[in-house]
Homo-oligomer: A and B are copies of this chain.
Amino acid sequence: MSDDSKLYFASDYMEGAHPKILERLMQTNFIHTVGYGEDRFSEHARELIRKACAAPQAEIHFLAGGTQTNATVIDALLKPWQGVLSADSGHINAHEAGAIEAGGHKVLTLPAVNGKLRAGDVQAYLDAYSADANRAHCVAPGMVYISQPTETGTLYSLKELEDLSAVCRRAKIPLYADGARLAYALACSENDAGLPDLARLCDAFYIGGTKCGALLGEAVVFPRPDTAPHFFTIVKQHGALLAKGRVAAIQFEVLFTDGLYMEIGKPAIAAAARIREALKRKGYALVPETPTNQIFVRLDDEKSGALSESVVLSFWERVDERSAVWRIATSWATADADVDRLISLL
């Protein structure tokens, strides 16, 4: 159970939504619209996203959450005999309770390097598959899944994305990017891949709402039409079709008005930078060091025990019998005062 007296740095989904979103929901509350995303708010939100992505032909769908979006998009893009290539640390491989396999597809893993898939490793896997005389007995690699930022808070550079995209296009398989925390990537000064780059290089990606200031909602973008035929029905079949499609769409309308989505992650990045600096100053080990809103820090069990009395962090993984990695996450709503308190406690 949650406890008011504590500091919350466990995740980036601990608050409601950006105040402008709630305002807009109030303003539009009694306007009548049809359902299932065929309303004017949905269409307007799509138009704003197309513009932000410089992808005038993009097909855009609004779903509720991340695992749902990954399972639905991956199922829509794969043929039944294909699997999806992912870093072993990828969210679909580790923390989605087998949702991809429940849809009948194998997650084919490659070792993550700094949280990322390397284009060369993907190419090598594809080559080995093509060269395997027994490949007809194996799961065919049918798409590539990445996330930006990655599961461990690192970023793909534009060059890395271009390389992955080139590998996929040569192999004629789609590249899909999970952007659950995309606003935090876009807010980083280290980031050199914008939305138009993702639209140009990926065959599908989603722009995260839930962790980036919305009550809930993810916007799936297929930059080129007809990438996923019958996607509406596939979404319905996956239980992912919102009856009141406007509820997600209105939130994206707000996020893509006046460039809010480009800005909303900045306070989180600034807060994370302050915490990171403090941790380093105090001699904590960052594993690895990341530029985004997630910090992974190694803590002795004694220290984490003491901290847990006043701060909620997120357990990540055990290192040895006496220490573990913990995640500190900031968000668009992290208050400066909370950062100060956290730093003083460390």
Interface residues in chain A, defined as those with a beta carbon under 8 Å from any beta carbon in chain B: 1-2, 4, 6, 8, 10-11, 13-17, 19, 22, 25-26, 28-35, 38-40, 43, 64-72, 75-76, 79-81, 83, 94-99, 101-107, 128, 131, 133-134, 136-140, 210-211, 215-216, 230, 232-234, 236-244, 246-247, 312, 315, 318, 333
Rounded to whole angstroms, the CA-CA distance of A94 and B1 in the bound complex is: 40
Contact B233 A140 (CB under 8 A): yes
Copy total for this chain: 4
Query: Which B residues lie within 8 Å of A243 (CB)?
Result: 11, 13, 65-66, 210-211, 216
Partner of A318, one of B106, B131, B239: B131
Q: In angstroms, how far is the closest chain B Cβ from the Cβ of A175?
A: 21
Contact A79 B241 (CB under 8 A): no
* Interface of chain A: mostly helix, strand, loop or mixed: loop
Contact flag A239-B106 (CB < 8 Å), given A30-B16, A40-B2, A128-B318:
no
For A83, give the chain B residue with the smallest CB separation.
Answer: B98
Rounded to whole angstroms, the CA-CA distance of A138 and B236 in the bound complex is: 9
Contact B99 A238 (CB under 8 A): yes
For A41, give the chain B residue with the smallest CB separation.
Answer: B2
Contact A102 B104 (CB under 8 A): yes
Contact B239 A99 (CB under 8 A): yes
Query: Which B residues lie within 8 Å of A29 (CB)?
Result: 15-17, 19, 22
For A26, give the chain B residue with the smallest CB separation.
Answer: B22
Query: Which B residues lie within 8 Å of A65 (CB)?
Result: 64, 239, 241-243
Query: Which B residues lie within 8 Å of A68 (CB)?
Result: 238-240
Query: Which B residues lie within 8 Å of A76 (CB)?
Result: 80
Rounded to whole angstroms, the CA-CA distance of A166 and B216 in the bound complex is: 40
